[in-house]
Each structure stands twice: as structure tokens, then as C-alpha cells.
Structure 1
Amino acid sequence: MFDWNRSCSYDEQAEEAFSHDSAFTAEKLAAELNLPSGCFDLRSNKAGIAVSGEVTLYHHRAYIQVGQFGLSSGHGILIRTCKGRKDYVGGANHFVALGMLDDIPALAAAVRAITGVGRDASRSSERRAA
């Protein structure tokens, strides 16, 4: 898995690895949130040589974007609400650390807390067992 704190600036191989691993992780996040296929888009923007580019999971009520926006700040995951997949403004911006990509259940919990989107898989299975 990619070292999320490694800068992609002027490093084409790092940018490619960042994009690939971000997309893979976004798919895992969608699964952890129990989002049915077809209810979200996964978009990628390679961008220029000086930046990482972004990978975005776009649901009709949530927008989650991964990029190296402020590497020195440690933040790189933007989470916000939206009203449809063509709402490019959305709700207030919330940022969490890129390192959360290594803990998908914690990232999913943050997405649920901020947007209300997604179902907690462990609670769903607990209810079925009861």
C-alpha cells in the first residue's frame, strides 16, 4: 500500500501509485459503507506533474475526495455532503488525515458521522444475529 505521506510532486511513479491505491481504497470504503453498486461514481483526476491528483467517491448525498491537498497539514481526505452527483459545491468541507486510508472502518465511521451516508456493517450483522 502507498505511503500516504510520500509526496507525489514531480514523481510520476508515485502519482500513479497514489492514484491506483486511492481508487482501490475508495472501493473498499464504498463496501464498508454498504453502498450498493450504481449508487456512487468513482472518479479520478490525474492532474499535473506538481500534484498527486485526486480520486473521488461521489454518492448522491456524500462527496469523499482523496488527494495531497496540504501534505504538511496531514490532511488529504475531504468529506462533505452534497445534493446529487452534479452538486460541485456541496456542504461544509471536513478534512481528515490521509492515514485514515489505512483504517477503512474508522474512515467509514467519519463519513457516516459527517454525512449520515452508509450503514454500519457490524451493527447490521448484530441485528440479524439477535
Structure 2
Amino acid sequence: MFDPASRFTQALAPDALTTIPSALNALNRAIHECERTRADIERDPAVLLLARHLGRLALENRPAQADLRRTCIEAAAAIDRTPLLLTLARRGVGYDADAKASFHAEGRKAMTRLAGALGLKRGEYRVRSNQAGIAVSGDVSLDTAELYIQLELGCMGPGNEVMFRNVDGSRGGRNNWASLSELLDPERFAQRIHRELRLTTTPATSEPLLA
């Protein structure tokens, strides 16, 4: 229901807005009402009062500014140290188009690095991406004449995000499982794949990429 006076009423008595989410929601509604009525958001008294109330909630009984900045710096550094694929696997990508797009982009990069570690040359392998439905991650795959590798989240649970098997014509061999962390160390994973599947290609010998 459209009520252009509601933002003023709430701004005059904001005591019920006791949390940052509730105060932010009220502020966003007030801004939206300004947009609908073409009011000046920067000068609207309800918007300004609600913004100040939100600011007070962010200050009362909260850590000091310096502590918050230090915590943000530490959190950002921790994220930078963690490969994006691992972060996406932990949080999931279902019903999140941006996260899912990142998963497929990073998955293709990881598969391409693995192809190099397996000693495969351009034209000897294909990296493909299947988006599937919005509720699931879909999968990223690497296939050759004798090998099929698939990355998918959630299918077999944590620690089994990667499936690999031999391919013999139209038939596939027994499924083998590996963790996403193994995929992120392509040289070591390539050695395992060669050992267990007895591939004819020669694995690369460069230094492993750190996860």
C-alpha cells in the first residue's frame, strides 16, 4: 500500500527500530518513497532522521573505529589467501547467479591448469561448462580421448567435488573422487590421476601452484 506519509511518522518515532537491519530497511523504504514522489532524497527530513538513527545504532555499544578497520583488513587478507573456488564451495552457489558465474569461470581456469599439469597440449582436451538449473552449481568438465574429469558442488558432499575416470570409446571407467583442494594443486593431482588411471600422457614437472 502506498502511503507517502509513513516515512515521516516512522522518522519521528524510530524507537522500535532497535537493530541495524530494521533501521536500514526503514531508511531504504523512505528513500524508495522519495523516488516515487520525486522528493529530494538529500534534503528529505524523514530520510535524514532515519539515517541519523541508523548511525546511532552503528555507534552504540559497538567496537571502536580503529578496531573495526583492523578487523576488516584481517578479513580481507584472509579472503585473499583463500582461493575463490573454495569460498564458493563453502557458501554454495545455488540461486545466486553472480556466484554461479564465478564458480564456472574459476572452474574453467582450474581445469585448464590441470590440463597443462597432465601434459596435455591445445587441441588434445576440451574444457566445458554446464550451467544446469538455478538450484544447483552445474558442472565444469575436462575431457580427452582417455580421460573425463568433472567438478560439481554438492553432488557427493564435501571432499568429493571432483570426479575422474578413464574413457574407453563410448564407455566410462570406474568413478574416482577427489577434493576441490586437490584440484587447486594441479601438479600433485595430475600425478595422482596418472598413477590411478595409468594414462599414456606424461605429467608436467613444474612447481605446484599454491592453493
TM-score surpassing 0.5?
A: yes
- Is 1:15 aligned to 2:100, yes or no? yes
What is the total number of aligned residue pairs between the two structures?
120
CA distance in 2, matches of 1:112, 1:5: 28
Render the CA deviation track for 1:41-85: whole Å, top value 9, x for unaligned: 11110111111111110110000001114363421101000024x
Asked if 2 retains the 8 angstrom alpha-carbon contact of 1:80 and 1:93, the reply is yes
- Identify unmatched segments of 5+ residues in structure 2: 1-83, 207-211
Tell me the residue number matched to 2:194. Answer: 112
Question: Could you tell me which amino acid in structure 1 is paired with residue 131 of structure 2?
Answer: K
Render the CA deviation track for 1:10-29: whole Å, top value 9, x for unaligned: 11111111100000010000
Superposed CA RMSD in Å reads: 1.8
Tell me the residue number matched to 1:101. Answer: 183
1:59 is aligned, of 144, 166, 170, to 144
Write out aligned runs for 1:27-42 (5 A): 27-42=112-127
- Runs of 4+ aligned residues of structure 1 deviating over 4 Å after TM superposition are none
- Higher helix proportion: 2
- Identify unmatched segments of 5+ residues in structure 1: 124-130
- Higher strand proportion: 1
Identity %: 30
CA distance in 1, matches of 2:95, 2:157: 17
1:90 is aligned, of 143, 164, 172, to 172
CA distance in 1, matches of 2:158, 2:183: 16
Q: Which has the higher contact order (CA 8 A, sep 6+)?
A: 1
Tell me the residue number matched to 2:161. Answer: 76
CA distance in 1, matches of 2:157, 2:127: 26
Question: Could you tell me which amino acid in structure 2 is paired with residue 37 of structure 1?
Answer: R
